[in-house]
Amino acid sequence: MRTISSNLNKLYLISALRGTLVFAGVIFLFLESINVTVNQFFLILGFYSLIMLILEIPSGYMSDRWGRKNTLLTGSIAASTGILLWATSYGFTQYMVGEFFWAIGFACFSGTIEAAMYDTLLEQGRESHYRTVAGRTQSINAVAQAIVSIIGGLIAAAFSLRAAYWLTVPFVLATIPLALTISEPKRHKLQETGHIDLMARVTMDTLFHRAALSKIVLLSATTISLIGILLWFTQPYQALIQLPTEYFGITHAAALLMAAVFAQITPKLEKRFDDRLLFLIILMFITGTYLLLGFTASLFGLAILLVGRSLVGATTPLSTALINRMTSSDIRATVLSVHAFVSTLIIAIASPIIGYWAEMLTLQQAFFYTGLIGSGVLVLLFLGMLRVWKQIPS
C-alpha cells in the first residue's frame, strides 16, 4: 500500500509536466515566424487530431492490456521526441513530424493517467475521492501551465520565440524517469486473445449499445472539442486585435488559472446543483461565445473567449467522473479513450474546414459558422441525454 500510495503524486507530476509548455502562449507567432500560414496552422491541429484519432482507442486498450506504467513510459518517450523536433524545426514539414510524435505521446497519456489514478484509489478503497483528485489534477496542470506561459511570453518578446520551445524540453523529458517509478495498480485483466474483437466490442458498447453511457460520451466529447477549438482560435484572435507579444503568455495563463478555479469548484457545485443544469450552463456559454465572437474583434471579445475556453476545467472532471462510475476497471481506459476519440474526430473533421473559413473568409466568420453548427449539435445531444438521465449514476 505504501508503494501504491506514491502513485498519485507521481501521476500529478506527469500530468503537470506533460502540459508544462513554455511555448504554449506563442505557438501561432512561432509558426508565423517559420512561414506557416493560418490555414496550415489549423491543418497542424487537424493532423494532430488525425494521429490521435488513429491511436486513441488502441492506446487505451494497450493501457488496459499492457499496463498503465508501460503505456505512460511509451508516451513520455514519444512526447520527448516531439518537443525536440519542434525546437529544431524551421518549416511546416519538420514541425508536422514533431506533431506526429507529440500526438503518439498524448494518445498514450490520454485515459491512462485518469485510469491509473482511479485504479490506485480503488485499490486503496478511496474511489469516491476521484472527483476531488481529478479536479486537483486539473488545477495543478493549470497553475503549472499558467506560470510557464507567462514566462514564455516574456522570453519570446525579450529574446526569441524558439527559446520558449527549448525551455520546454527539460519539463517533458522529466516525465520519463517518473513513468519508470510508477507502481502498476491492480486491475481486472482482459483475456489473452481476441484483442481487436474486444476493443471493437467495447467501442460499440460505449457508442451504441449502452444508451446512458453513449449520451454522456457524445455530449461531453462534443463540448470538450468545441472548447479545444476555442483554445486554437485564441492566438489568431489576439493577432487580429494586435495584442502585443508579451501579453500572449499572460492571457494564456489567465485562461488556465480560470480553468483551475472551475476544476476546484465543480465538485462543490455538483453537490448543490443537478449535473444536467451544470452541463446546460456550459453548453449555453460555449455556443454563445462562438456566436458573439462572430460579431466583435475587441478586448471584450478576448475576455469572453478566455472564459469560454477555461470551462474545460469544469467539463473534464465532470464527464470523466461519470464515465468512471459507469465502467469497470478492465475496460475503463478503453472507454475513456473512446471518449477522447470522439472529441478528436470532431476536431480532425472541423479543423481543415475552420482553417479554410479563416483564410478564405474572415476569422470572425469562422467563429460564427462554427458556433452555429456546434450549437445545433449540442442541443440535440443534450435532449438525448435527458431521456436516459435516470440511468446515469449521481
pLDDT tens across 322-362, in order? 788 778 777 777 788 788 888 888 988 998 899 889 888 89
The answer to whether residues 98 and 162 touch, using CB atoms and an 8 Å cutoff, is no
What interhelical angle do 130-158 and 161-173 show, nearest 10?
150
Q: What's the pLDDT score for residue 306? A: 94
Nine-digit cell at 126? 478511496
Domain 2-179+194-391 homologous superfamily, CATH: MFS general substrate transporter like domains (1.20.1250.20)
The sign of the CA dihedral 113, 115, 120, 126 is positive
pLDDT tens profile 177-210: 999 988 877 754 444 445 567 667 777 877 787 7
Give the mean model confidence (pLDDT) for residues 258-270. Answer: 80
pLDDT tens profile 303-318: 999 999 999 888 887 7
Q: 3-state class of 394 per DSSP?
A: coil
Q: What's the pLDDT score for residue 105? A: 92
CA distance 51 to 342: 13
pLDDT tens profile 74-88: 999 999 999 999 999
Q: What's the pLDDT score for residue 77? A: 95
Integer CA distances (angstroms), 298 to 104, 292, 305, 307, in order: 37, 11, 11, 15
Q: What's the pLDDT score for residue 20? A: 85
User: Mean pLDDT: which of 28-32, 58-62, 147-151 is highest?
Assistant: 28-32
CA proximity to 93, closest of 34, 174, 158: 34
How does the average pLDDT of the chain come out, rounded? Answer: 84
Compute how many other C-beta atoms are within 10 angstroms of the C-beta atom of residue 2. Answer: 6
Q: What's the pLDDT score for residue 2? A: 47
Q: What's the pLDDT score for residue 99? A: 95
Q: Which residues contact 72 (CB under 8 A, 6 or more apart)?
A: 14, 108, 109, 112, 113, 116, 175, 179, 182
CA distance 337 to 110: 7
Q: What's the pLDDT score for residue 195? A: 57
CA distance 378 to 382: 6
pLDDT tens profile 232-253: 899 999 999 999 988 998 998 8
Q: 3-state class of 34 per DSSP?
A: coil
Q: Which residue has the cell 471493437?
A: 200
The sign of the CA dihedral 262, 234, 170, 146 is negative
Q: Is the pLDDT of residue 294 over 60?
A: yes
Domain range summary for the chain, segments of one domain joined by +: 2-179+194-391
Q: What's the pLDDT score for residue 392? A: 66
Give the mean model confidence (pLDDT) for residues 108-121. Answer: 82
Give percent of the chain with pLDDT exceeding 90. 35
pTM, two decimals, is: 0.77
The answer to whether residues 134 and 117 touch, using CB atoms and an 8 Å cutoff, is yes
Work out the pLDDT band at 394, boundaries 50, 70, 90: low
DSSP state string for 167-190: HHHHHHHTHHHHHHTPPPPP-PPP
The answer to whether residues 10 and 182 touch, using CB atoms and an 8 Å cutoff, is yes
Task: Count how many residues are written for the chain.
Answer: 394
Nine-digit cell at 23? 511555448
